[in-house]
Amino acid sequence: MAVDLNLETVRDAPKVLLHDHLDGGLRPATVVDLAEAVGYSALPTTDVPALGRWFLEAAHSGSLVRYLETFGHTVGVMQTADALVRVAAECAEDLADDGVVYAEVRFAPELHVEAGLELAAVVEAVLEGFRVGTARAAERGRRIRVGCLLTAMRHAARSREIAELAIRYRDTGVVGFDIAGAEAGFPPTRHLDAFEYVRQQNGHFTIHAGEAFGLPSIWEALQWCGADRLGHGVRIVDDITVDDDGGATLGRLAAYVRDMRIPLEMCPTSNLHTGAARSLAEHPIGLLAKLRFRVTVNTDNRLMSDVSMSREMTALAETFGYGWADLQWFTVNAMKSAFIGFDERLALIDDVIKPGYAALQA
Ligand SMILES: [Zn+2]
pLDDT of residue 69: 76
Query: Cα of 15 to ligand 1 centre, how many Å?
Result: 18
pLDDT of residue 273: 82
d(C-alpha 181, C-alpha 186), whole Å: 9
Query: Cα of 359 to ligand 1 centre, how many Å?
Result: 32
Phi, psi of 117, rounded to the nearest 5 degrees? -65, 145
* Mean pLDDT to the nearest integer, 308-326: 98
d(C-alpha 13, C-alpha 10), whole Å: 5
- In the 8-state DSSP scheme, what is residue 300? B
pLDDT of residue 61: 74
Phi, psi of 234, rounded to the nearest 5 degrees? -55, -35
CB of 295 closer than 8 Å to CB of 333: yes
- pLDDT reading at 243 higher than 70: yes
d(C-alpha 162, C-alpha 106), whole Å: 12
Which amino acid does the sequence have at 203?
G
What are the binding residues for substrate?
21, 23, 181
Residue 189: pLDDT band with limits 50, 70, 90: confident
User: Around Cβ 85, how many Cβ atoms within 10 Å?
Assistant: 20
What are the binding residues?
19, 21, 23, 181, 208, 300
Among 273, 207, 262, 216, smallest CA distance to 239 is for 216
* Neighbouring-strand partners of residue 17: 103
d(C-alpha 316, C-alpha 69), whole Å: 27
Catalytic residue among 211, 220, 265, 312: 211
| pTM for the full predicted model | 0.96
* Mean pLDDT to the nearest integer, 2-13: 95
Which amino acid does the sequence have at 345?
R
Phi, psi of 83, rounded to the nearest 5 degrees? -65, -40
Query: Cα of 244 to ligand 1 centre, how many Å?
Result: 34
**Which residues are CB-neighbours of 121 under 8 A, at least 6 positions away?**
81
pLDDT of residue 12: 95
> Max alpha carbon distance in the chain (Å)?
61
Which amino acid does the sequence have at 251?
G
Q: Is 344 a catalytic residue?
A: no
pLDDT of residue 188: 85
* Mean pLDDT to the nearest integer, 109-135: 98
Query: Cα of 347 to ligand 1 centre, how many Å?
Result: 27
Angle, CA 306 vertex, CA 69 and CA 102 arms, to 5°: 105
| Three-state DSSP state, 253 | helix
CB of 212 closer than 8 Å to CB of 181: no
d(C-alpha 22, C-alpha 92), whole Å: 10
52 or 246, which is more confident?
Answer: 52
Query: Cα of 301 to ligand 1 centre, how many Å?
Result: 7
pLDDT 10s digits, 41-74: 999 999 999 999 999 888 887 666 667 779 999 9
- pLDDT reading at 1 higher than 70: no
- In the 8-state DSSP scheme, what is residue 116? S
Q: Could you tell me the domains of the chain? A: 7-361 (3.20.20.140)
Task: Catalogue the E-assigned strands of 253-294.
Answer: 264-266
d(C-alpha 299, C-alpha 17), whole Å: 8
Query: Cα of 200 to ligand 1 centre, how many Å?
Result: 25
Which amino acid does the sequence have at 130?
F
The mean of the pLDDT values for the chain is: 94
CB of 167 closer than 8 Å to CB of 197: yes
* Mean pLDDT to the nearest integer, 14-43: 96
Q: Which of 14-23, 86-95, 276-285, 304-313 has the lowest mean pLDDT?
A: 276-285
* Mean pLDDT to the nearest integer, 2-28: 96
Query: Cα of 3 to ligand 1 centre, how many Å?
Result: 32
* Neighbouring-strand partners of residue 300: 20
d(C-alpha 274, C-alpha 296), whole Å: 19
pLDDT of residue 14: 98
64 or 119, which is more confident?
Answer: 119
62 or 12, which is more confident?
Answer: 12
pLDDT of residue 187: 83
For the chain, what percent of residues have pLDDT higher than 90?
A: 85
Distance between first and last Cα of the chain = 6
Query: Cα of 215 to ligand 1 centre, how many Å?
Result: 17
- pLDDT reading at 210 higher than 90: no
Query: Cα of 24 to ligand 1 centre, how many Å?
Result: 9
